[in-house]
């Protein structure tokens, strides 16, 4: 790109030409961003020069060395830090005051950043001050690690993208390779050790920080499922357990939890939230993050330490009010809407929960992830129409609260044609990066094109001058380094496979996982005490039908799902608790798929006979809740776009009562000649789906299985196990009349937990984290940005399927949890003086 264009674009970007407020007068930090991240301007302590260092092993030696079974060397300092390094990395040891230190930059001196006796802030500032803009630029990425391998030769091969990324200066990235067995975790730990050895061999020896999306280790609950327990004490313990297992496997950062307030019952990512109540969202967030970020000795909080995991709150902020519930990963879901001016409620979990940790001395969640969506307001009181990673209003709100920390963008907001770059389409990729970094971003999520970061550095340098640009980049580097310091990775970034085997996916942790699942199960119906405490009787006989999944297309990616048949409950697991009667699956009779294999049709089943079913003691039907996401289709010939509603019932749904006009839409500019002059007309796109029909979800076959079972039940009780895997809410009117008892389990609940609850081994304890609508019309009538404002379903026993509703063996639960969280929903932050952009 030519220099003049680069400079011009930079001036536009950094002055926020899209209507964003200008940077502060110094130009070195974004408006509202904390200068030097809260640390005072100060000279770092001088390095301990070689003349002042002691010969290794001389004098009063306070350290000892041992080579571990995993190949790295462990240094134990008496009353000091434990170090880990690889002899193959080229790092040497230094001795001062009898203690051992790592000479990470190989200069023969003990730099302040290498001196573990100093505080983290001083050390981080020292290292940041030593780095040039060119060295920092690749460090402002959160890319990836290339080939997953335990073979060092494969890892260091020229065609491994991860090797190139690290040697180019990248130090952050997400893993998708952490499996669910102990050996999976062991192999993961070995792979991360290879990454850390390479990082240690390069300039400054800066360790890698490895992140992960929420990953259900040992079956321990998270998100909707954790929220359904509605107990912050449990959330604290769950956070502790996750952090121990993540760190053992070499994971240092959780890209989560997702704390978007789910005010739309059809929110496409609602299952990944803590539900629809601001107070519940706040409390579970605060407790879980406290458990995860501190290192614990039993109930004693040790602060940042060897078991700590950085929690990155996502998504800042407002994605839970996406119009139509659409996923903001795609242009279809780019707008979050707040027609009732309830945006502040969507900040409560961040500012009153995550940023004010009462259970942890780490004090605040160390990171946030920006959101994709545009927070839409006709008067632009929520800022300009740009995605969250480019919104000065959102950055100013964040920094204005006094919070300081690590900020990573959500994935894919910078590339051309990517997602989340809404409103920035006319900018080049380096200009978008420069824009976001100038606002306060510390790493570009999912991005490993280091050349673009180098060009972003040149843009900022050209606009601000080298001195101010370098100060800005060193401030960004400081936040990344400080986070890494707090995790102890500069001392020891290596993993012990023996520790993994003791910690991860053990019999004990799996048993704990099942316990948490059982505690989360919500019993919404239990007519005539169908489910009750076990009396220790002999095995009953149950009928478990197969369920058919119809071929379907769903989600923001419009992903196709093939047809299939499967038992509605795992038959091997069920056989541990019951004598099982089931159906017989025939060979597939449908057309061949792309691999030439025949596909299943709805006719490829022989149902158990009515006589066999009537002889059973119980009918047990496992079901997946219905969900089709709202989407759009554009006719290629006419260019006209048709929008379709979401559907959370099993039968098709026609949106006869939907809004005539959507709240938000793209601005459409039309040019025409009125017979005299050329005229321009700007209109707002109408994304209404009123009158359009959403078809039957692919899980419609689950309803058919229930209908068959009920008809053949001959008066025997029918129990439904309803898994809310893809939706947090559903319309129960098609299911409830056919069932004597219904257990609701959110995404993490597995069949063992259901069955131990049905047999009466464990009393149901969970509560609904969101209202269940009376109908799809009730869904349309509720407000996009308000929680708990919907007409709820009422069952045959008169129970209302409202937020915080659930049954136990005695009846409706009415404990302190219900009293606490059934209060009127909060609307204001207690720890933020919130102001709209136009105030």
Name 273's Cβ contacts closer than 8 Å, sequence gap at least 6: 223, 224, 227, 258, 259, 260, 261, 262, 267, 281, 320, 728
- The pLDDT assigned to 536 comes to 81
Give tens-digit pLDDT for 596-640.
999 999 999 999 999 999 999 999 999 999 999 999 999 989 989
- The pLDDT assigned to 199 comes to 98
Averaged over 733-761, what is the pLDDT? 97
Q: Is the predicted pLDDT of residue 544 greater than 50, yes or no?
A: yes
Give just the sign of the alpha carbon dihedral 502, 504, 506, 509: positive
Separation CA 125–CA 359 (nearest Å): 28
Averaged over 345-365, what is the pLDDT? 98
Give tens-digit pLDDT for 545-554.
999 999 988 7
Give tens-digit pLDDT for 399-432.
999 999 999 999 999 999 878 899 999 999 999 9
- The pLDDT assigned to 469 comes to 98
Separation CA 192–CA 145 (nearest Å): 9
- The pLDDT assigned to 43 comes to 57
Q: Using alpha carbons only, give the angle 505, 509, 514 rounded to the nearest 5 degrees.
A: 110
Q: Which of 288, 205, 325 is nearest to 647 (CA)?
A: 325
- The pLDDT assigned to 33 comes to 53
Q: Which of 561, 559, 554, 546 is nearest to 599 (CA)?
A: 561
Using CB atoms within 10 Å of the CB of residue 528, give its burial: 0 to 12 exposed, 13 to 18 middle, 19+ buried: exposed
Name 510's Cβ contacts closer than 8 Å, sequence gap at least 6: 218, 219
Q: Which of 126, 112, 107 is nearest to 50 (CA)?
A: 107
Give tens-digit pLDDT for 729-745.
999 999 999 999 999 99
Averaged over 123-134, what is the pLDDT? 98
Name 486's Cβ contacts closer than 8 Å, sequence gap at least 6: 120, 304, 308, 310, 362, 366
The tokens describing 178, both together, are: 């952490």
Q: Which of 284, 287, 289 is nearest to 274 (CA)?
A: 284
Q: Is the predicted pLDDT of residue 35 greater than 80, yes or no?
A: no
Give tens-digit pLDDT for 487-532.
999 999 999 999 999 999 999 999 999 999 999 999 999 999 999 9
Above pLDDT 90, what percent of the chain?
A: 88
Give tens-digit pLDDT for 764-803.
999 999 999 999 999 999 999 999 999 999 999 999 999 9
Q: Using alpha carbons only, give the angle 31, 35, 41 rounded to the nearest 5 degrees.
A: 155
- The pLDDT assigned to 836 comes to 96
- The pLDDT assigned to 5 comes to 39
Separation CA 378–CA 313 (nearest Å): 28
Averaged over 51-68, what is the pLDDT? 93
Separation CA 94–CA 53 (nearest Å): 7
Separation CA 206–CA 172 (nearest Å): 10
Own/partner pairs, 701-704, CB within 8 angstroms, 24+ separation: 701/547, 701/548, 701/549, 701/550, 701/602, 702/547, 702/548, 702/549, 702/568, 702/621, 702/623, 702/624, 702/650, 703/623, 703/626, 703/650, 703/734, 703/735, 704/548, 704/602
Burial 141-167 (b: 16+ CB within 10 A, else e): bbbbbbeebeeeeebeeeebebbebbe
pTM of the predicted protein model: 0.94
Above pLDDT 70, what percent of the chain?
A: 94
Give tens-digit pLDDT for 669-727.
888 777 788 888 888 999 999 999 999 999 999 999 999 999 999 999 999 999 999 99
The rounded mean pLDDT for the chain is 93
Asked whether the beta carbons of 96 and 53 are under 8 A apart, the reply is yes
Helices and strands counted in the chain (H then E): 22, 37
Tell me the CA distances in angstroms from 40 to 34, 36, 125, 365, one per residue in order: 11, 7, 10, 22
Q: Is the predicted pLDDT of residue 190 greater than 60, yes or no?
A: yes
Q: In the structure, what pLDDT confidence band is assigned to residue 535 with cuts at 50, 70 and 90?
A: confident
Q: Which of 575, 524, 543 is nearest to 729 (CA)?
A: 524
- The pLDDT assigned to 50 comes to 66
Separation CA 629–CA 554 (nearest Å): 6
| DSSP secondary structure letter of residue 307 | T
Q: Is the predicted pLDDT of residue 17 greater than 50, yes or no?
A: no
Any idea which residue has 């998270």 for tokens? 222
Q: Which of 3-17, 200-214, 287-301 has the lowest mean pLDDT?
A: 3-17
Q: Is the predicted pLDDT of residue 477 greater than 60, yes or no?
A: yes
Separation CA 475–CA 487 (nearest Å): 19
- The pLDDT assigned to 24 comes to 34
Separation CA 357–CA 239 (nearest Å): 13
Q: Is the predicted pLDDT of residue 51 greater than 70, yes or no?
A: no
Strands 209-212 and 172-175: parallel
Largest CA-CA distance found in the chain, in angstroms, rounded? 96
| Three-class secondary structure of residue 839 per DSSP | coil
Give tens-digit pLDDT for 813-833.
999 999 999 999 999 999 999
User: Could you tell me where the beta strands, DSSP code E, fall in 283-417?
Assistant: 296-297, 300-301, 310-316, 335-337, 367-370, 374-376, 406-408
Averaged over 633-651, what is the pLDDT? 94
Using CB atoms within 10 Å of the CB of residue 42, give its burial: 0 to 12 exposed, 13 to 18 middle, 19+ buried: exposed
Averaged over 294-318, what is the pLDDT? 97
- The pLDDT assigned to 595 comes to 87
Q: Phi and psi (nearest 5°) for 378?
A: -55, -30
- The pLDDT assigned to 668 comes to 86
Q: Which of 613-617, 633-637, 649-653, 750-754 has the lowest mean pLDDT?
A: 633-637
Asked whether the beta carbons of 154 and 160 are under 8 A apart, the reply is yes
């Amino acid at each position: 790109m030519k220099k003049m264009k680069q400079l011009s674009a930079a001036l536009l970007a950094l002055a926020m030409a899209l209507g964003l407020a200008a940077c502060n007068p110094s130009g070195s930090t974004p408006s509202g961003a904390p200068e030097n991240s809260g640390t005072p301007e100060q000279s770092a302590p001088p390095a301990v020069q070689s003349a002042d260092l002691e010969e290794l092993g001389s004098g009063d030696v306070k350290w000892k060395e041992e080579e571990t079974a995993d190949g790295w060397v462990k240094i134990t300092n008496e009353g000091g830090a434990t170090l880990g390094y690889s002899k193959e990395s080229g790092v040497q040891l230094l001795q001062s005051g009898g203690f051992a230190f790592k000479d990470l930059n190989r200069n023969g001196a003990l730099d302040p950043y290498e001196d573990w006796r100093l505080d983290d802030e001083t050390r981080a500032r020292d290292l940041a001050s030593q780095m040039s803009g060119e060295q920092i630029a690749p460090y402002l990425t959160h890319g990836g690690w290339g080939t997953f391998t335990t073979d060092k030769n494969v890892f260091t091969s020229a065609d491994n993208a991860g090797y190139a990324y690290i040697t180019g200066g990248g130090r952050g990235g997400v893993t998708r390779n952490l499996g669910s067995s102990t050996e999976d975790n062991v192999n993961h730990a070995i792979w991360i050790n290879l990454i850390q050895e390479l990082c240690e061999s390069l300039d400054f020896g800066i360790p890698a920080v490895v992140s992960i999306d929420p990953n259900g280790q040992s079956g321990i609950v998270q998100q909707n499922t954790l929220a359904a327990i509605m107990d912050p004490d449990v959330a604290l313990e769950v956070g502790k357990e996750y952090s121990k297992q993540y760190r053992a496997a070499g994971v240092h950062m959780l890209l989560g939890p997702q704390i978007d307030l789910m005010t739309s019952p059809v929110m496409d990512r609602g299952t990944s939230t803590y539900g629809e109540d601001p107070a519940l969202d706040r409390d579970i967030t605060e407790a879980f993050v406290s458990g995860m970020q501190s290192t614990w000795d039993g109930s004693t909080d040790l602060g940042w330490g060897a078991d700590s995991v950085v929690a990155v709150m996502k998504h800042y902020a407002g994605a839970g009010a996406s119009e139509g519930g659409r996923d903001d990963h795609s242009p279809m879901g780019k707008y979050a809407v707040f027609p009732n001016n309830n945006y502040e409620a969507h900040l409560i979990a961040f500012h009153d929960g995550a940023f004010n940790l009462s259970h942890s001395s780490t004090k605040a969640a160390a990171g946030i992830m920006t959101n994709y969506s545009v927070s839409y307001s006709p008067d632009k009181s929520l800022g300009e129409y740009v995605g969250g990673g480019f919104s000065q209003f959102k950055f100013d709100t964040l920094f204005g609260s006094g919070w300081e920390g690590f900020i990573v963008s959500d994935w894919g907001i910078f590339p051309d044609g990517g997602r989340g770059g809404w409103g920035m389409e006319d900018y080049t990729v380096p200009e978008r990066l420069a824009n976001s970094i100038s606002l306060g971003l510390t790493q570009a999520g999912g991005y490993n094109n280091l050349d673009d970061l180098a060009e972003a550095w040149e843009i900022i340098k050209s606009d601000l001058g080298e001195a101010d640009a370098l100060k800005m980049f060193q401030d960004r580097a400081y936040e990344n380094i400080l986070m890494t310091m707090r995790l102890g990775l500069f001392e020891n970034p290596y993993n012990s496979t023996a520790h993994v085997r003791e910690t991860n996916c053990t019999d004990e942790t799996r048993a704990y996982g099942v316990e948490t699942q059982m505690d989360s199960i919500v019993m919404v119906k239990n007519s005539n005490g169908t489910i009750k405490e076990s009396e220790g009787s002999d095995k009953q006989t149950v009928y478990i039908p197969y369920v058919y999944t119809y071929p379907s297309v769903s989600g923001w990616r419009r992903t196709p799902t093939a047809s299939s048949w499967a038992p509605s409950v795992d038959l091997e697991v069920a056989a541990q608790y019951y004598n099982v009667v089931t159906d017989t699956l025939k060979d597939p009779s449908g057309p061949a798929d792309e691999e030439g294999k025949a596909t299943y049709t709805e006719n490829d089943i022989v149902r158990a006979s009515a006589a066999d079913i009537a002889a059973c003691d119980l009918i047990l039907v496992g079901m997946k809740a219905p969900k089709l996401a709202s989407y759009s289709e554009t006719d290629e010939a006419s260019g006209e776009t048709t929008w379709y509603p979401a559907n959370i019932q099993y039968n098709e749904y026609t949106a006869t009562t939907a809004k005539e006009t959507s709240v938000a839409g793209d601005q459409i500019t039309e040019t025409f000649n009125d017979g005299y002059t050329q005229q321009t007309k700007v209109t707002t796109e109408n994304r209404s789906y009123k009158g359009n029909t959403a078809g039957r979800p692919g899980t419609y076959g689950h309803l058919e299985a229930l209908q068959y079972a009920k008809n053949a039940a001959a008066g025997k009780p029918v129990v439904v196990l309803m898994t809310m895997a893809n939706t947090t809410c559903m319309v129960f009117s098609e299911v409830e009349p056919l069932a004597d008892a219904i257990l609701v389990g959110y995404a993490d609940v597995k069949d063992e937990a259901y069955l131990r609850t049905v047999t009466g081994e464990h009393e149901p304890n969970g509560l609904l984290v969101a209202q269940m609508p009376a109908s799809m019309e009730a869904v349309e009538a509720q407000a996009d940005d308000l929680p708990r404002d919907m007409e709820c379903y009422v069952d045959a026993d008169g129970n209302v399927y409202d937020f915080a509703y659930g049954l136990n063996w005695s009846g409706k639960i009415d404990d302190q949890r219900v009293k606490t969280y059934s209060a009127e929903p909060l609307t204001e932050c207690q720890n933020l003086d919130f102001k709209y952009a136009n105030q």
